[in-house]
Amino acid sequence: MKKQSKTTTVYRIDQEKGNYTTISRNILISTELTDSAKTLLQLCLNNTSEWKLVLSHYRKVLHWSNDKMSNAVSNLIEFGYLKKEKLPNGKGKGFTYIYIVSEFGNLNPNHEKISKEEITQSLTSIESSDDEAIIIGHETQIEATVVSTSAMTDLEYNAINEIIVKAIDGHHVTDDYIAKLSDFYIYKFKSGALTISKLNKENEISSIKRSIEKNFNSKMKVIEGWIDFHNNRGTKDQRSNIKQRALRHFNELEFPLDEVIERDVSTKILKLKSSIVDANRVYDSRYQD
């Protein structure tokens, strides 16, 4: 498939014939993540429901040294895209590592770093098929093997509902995002990683709100870039006026910002330019009857 503009020609593989990974644009343009971390995250998000996350396998596939893989993993953990939990299998039966991969970058709100020794241990010792993964992302389905079959209680379901309702209050989020949040907490309760006695609702609500706001601000930066790209003509004052009006429009949308695409921005810019032209004609004698 060929795409061509006046200055650029791009050759693309037809999507129905190629192997693709759908990933948030915010990750690709992130200034927090290193190039290695972005590469590893894309691989983690491109997997089937039978996926087992084995970091040492990816190190071999990418031909990376232990240091390079450790740095990538550390970067993903620090900025909330990867989380590792060690759950006991029972006395004398070792441990199962549960990995959580989030496309939202919301797993470590305080940016706490993990020791390099612990990461290195993951690279050298995790070859077991008992390791499981859960993925949380905009376009990625959650896939997980629950390590416990304990039934959820009404108290736990009510707690999840209360957290989500309060966290999204005042924000526009997609139904898919809400469903993933719900599945995430259900998994945590069923696996035993979270209990009512351990649950701090206010902390959970604050963490989700920060994640939503971070995602909103990141998307607004992307939208601002689209505005600047399509708002490249006219006087400086006209461009400034159009930009401010466009930013205000998208900031006040009554639906999730994640649904906005570049075409929506270019269309809005054209409408704003047209409104300025029409307004100028009212005061231009050449357009008077």
CA angle at residue 152 from 51 to 108, to 5 degrees? 55
Percent of the chain residues past pLDDT 90, beyond the cut:
13
Report residue 28's pLDDT band, with 50, 70 and 90 as the boundaries: confident
Token digits of residue 23: 């990933």
**Among the listed ranges 11-20, 103-112, 201-210, which one has the minimum average pLDDT value?**
11-20
- pTM score, whole prediction: 0.46
pLDDT of residue 6: 62
pLDDT of residue 155: 86
CB count within 10 Å of CB 113 equals 11
Confidence label for 42 from pLDDT (cuts 50, 70 and 90): confident
Contact 217, 200 (CB under 8 A): no
Give me the phi and psi of 146, to 5 degrees please. Answer: -75, 130
pLDDT score of 139 = 35
Residue 167 has pLDDT above 70, yes or no: yes
Average pLDDT, rounded, for the chain: 76
- Above 70 in pLDDT, residue 148? no
Q: Looking at per-residue confidence, does 154 or 277 come out higher?
A: 154
Residue 130 has pLDDT above 80, yes or no: no
| pLDDT beyond 70 at 143 | no
Structure token digits, residue 280: 């100028």
pLDDT of residue 287 exceeding 50, the answer is: no
Residue 137: predicted pLDDT? 47
Other CB atoms within a 10 A radius of the CB of residue 162 amount to: 13
Which amino acid is present at 228? Answer: D
One-letter identity of residue 222: V
Q: For residue 138, name the pLDDT band (cuts at 50, 70, 90).
A: very low
pLDDT of the residue at 244: 93
CA–CA separation, 43 and 87 (whole Å) = 24
Q: Distance between CA atoms of 74 and 127, rounded to whole angstroms?
A: 19
